[in-house]
Structure 1
C-alpha cells in the first residue's frame, strides 16, 4: 500500500530535478510514494523528462502543469488534486515541497517544506558578498510593506541600477516566504485537525543551477556552468553546509527534512542544509506577518471553504 504522495513544484529546475532524482534513487521513496511533479510546461520540461526516464518501473509518477504566477492555475491544480485524493485515486499528500513558489493544497498529512535562503535575513553576513546590497542605508528593511512589494514599488532598477536592486527584491521574496512559514506554523499548531502537520524551511545554499541564467554571460554561463560546479563539489567535502553546495547535496537535505527528521510540532523548523538556521527578526514580527497574511488572503481572493485551516482569517 502506498505511503503517500510527494508533490514537488519547480520540478524541472536545478534543485527540483535533483530532488526528483533523489526520490527515484531511494528505493523506499520510489516504490512506496507517488510523485506529482509540477512544471510550467510539461512538453518543454526536458530536464525532468530526462530524470524520469531513469525512474524504476514501480515508481508511480506524473507531471502536472501549473503556472505559479496565475492564481487561477494554482486554484485549478489544487482543486484537481484535492478531488483525486478525496476519491481515493491519489494517496494523501505526505510531503509538499515548495521549491518554486507557494500554493495551498489541502488533504495533507505530513510536512510542508519551504525552500528558503539566508538572503531573507538582512543581518546575515553571508549577504555581504553581494557587493553590499544590504548596506545601503536607504533600504533598512526587506519588508517595507506588503502592497509596496506586491506592486514592485520598492528597490526598483531605475532607482538603483545594477544587481543590488534585484538581489534586494529576491531577498524580500524569501523573507515573505519565511514570514508565511512562521505564520502558517503558528496557525497550524492551534488547529485541532491539522496540528499533526510539520512546517519546515530549508536553505539549500548557492548551487550551480540555471537559477542565474538571466544574469548575463559571466554569471549565467561562466560562473554557474563552468566554475561553480567544480568549486561546489570541492567545497562540500570540507564544509557540507557552506555557502556553495552541489544540487545533489541540497536535494538530499530536502528529502531528509521531509522524511528522516522527527516531526517538529508547535513551531516551524528552520534548516540551513543539515544545520539549524537563525531566521530574520522581521520573520518573527507578528504584526508584519499578520499584514502579509491578510494582504495575501485578499490578493488570492480566499473565501470560506477555500482552506481547511480553522484560523485562516
Structure 2
C-alpha cells in the first residue's frame, strides 16, 4: 500500500505498526492536524497483507491527507531488515521519499514458558526487541534528517529489575535476577533464563526485559557515538517508557496475562488516569501521544534531547546497569560482529 509523494516535510518509520501501541501511533500521526499531512508514515509490519489492526487504524483517517506506506519488515529475519532499509535508502537517495525525521523502534516480542529462535540463529525475543533494531538503525542513519532526526526507543520498566513497578512479581524475585546482562552470547543464543532451565512464564518475561535493557543500552551508546560524529551530531537518541498497557504483547504468555489482563488493563488505566498525571497503567492512545511528543516536541524537551529517557510524560532515569559503559561497549561490539556490519553499511563514523 503506498501513497508516496515528496511533498511531505519528513518521514516517520514505526516498527511493529500492527501491534496495539504501533497502530495507535500510526492513528495518532495520521489524525493529527499538526503532523498528519506534513509527514510521510512508513509503517513496518511482518506481513503487510495481514496487518488488520494497522489498516483499521489508518482507515479511520482515510479522509485526511496523510501520505504513508505499509512495508514488510520482519524483525525475526535480518535479511528482511536489510531489504527494507535498502529500499528506504534508495528512495531517499533518489528523492521520492523525504528524509527520516524519526525512527520509532516500537516492535516488541514476549514469550511465556515457550522459547523460539529466529532463522538467524538467535533467541527470538532478543532479536526482535533489540538486535534487529540495532541493525535497522545503523543502516538507516544515512537517510536520517541530519538536523532534526530522532531515534525513539520504546523502553519498558521491565529493563530494570530494581524498578518498584516490578516489586511483588515473581519474575525478578531472587538475587540472581537483579542483573540482566552478563554477556552478549548468553542472551543472543537464549541460554540465559532459557525455557529449558526455567519452564515458566517468568523466563520469557525476563528475556523480554533483557532485550529491552539491550535496546536502552544501545540508545545510550548510540547517542555517545553520534555526538562524536560531525555529520550526525544533531541526531538525537531518546526513549519512552509507555507504561503498562493492554495489548497483544501478552498473547504468548500465561493465562492471566494472555486472557484475564488485556480486557481489565484499559479499564484500570482509565480509572488510574483520573487520579494521576502519569499513571502506571495507560491507554495505548495516551502512550502513543507520549511517543509522538518525543518525536516532535521542542518546547519542553528542547531542540536536541540527547539521551533523554521519559516515563510517559515525565523525565526518568534508566537502570544503573544500562549506563554501565563496559557493558554498553561490549554489547555494541558483539552486535556488530554477530550481524556482520561493515563500513559500507552505515554512515556512522565510529561504528565499530
Q: TM-score range by the shorter chain?
A: over 0.9
Q: Which residue of 1 aligns with 2:246?
A: 208
Q: Tell me, which stretches of 5 or more residues in structure 1 are unaligned?
A: none
Shift of 1:33: 0.7
Shift of 1:221: 2.0
Q: How does 1:168-247 map to 2 (within 5 A)?
A: 168-225=206-263, 227-247=264-284
Q: Which residue of 1 aligns with 2:84?
A: 77
Shift of 1:258: 0.5
Q: Which residue of 2 aligns with 1:134?
A: 172
Pairs aligned (count): 310
1:40 to 46, 50, 59: 46
Say whether the 8 Å CA contact 1:130–1:164 is kept in structure 2: no
Distance 1:9 1:129 in 2: 32
Using the size of structure 1 for normalisation, the TM-score is: 0.95
- Give the 3-state SS of the residue equivalent to 1:6 in structure 2: strand
- Give the 3-state SS of the residue equivalent to 1:64 in structure 2: strand
Shift of 1:218: 3.2
**Cα offsets for 1:200-252 (capped at 9, x unmatched):** 10000010111111224432122212x11211111122223222110000000
Using the size of structure 2 for normalisation, the TM-score is: 0.85
Structure 1 stretch displaced more, 5-14 or 256-265: 256-265
Q: How does 1:1-313 map to 2 (within 5 A)?
A: 1-55=7-61, 56-100=63-107, 101=129, 102=133, 103-104=136-137, 105-106=140-141, 107-109=143-145, 110-131=149-170, 133-225=171-263, 227-261=264-298, 262-264=302-304, 267-313=306-352
Say whether the 8 Å CA contact 1:142–1:172 is kept in structure 2: yes
**Cα offsets for 1:187-212 (capped at 9, x unmatched):** 00111000111111000001011111
Distance 1:140 1:116 in 2: 18
Distance 1:129 1:81 in 2: 44
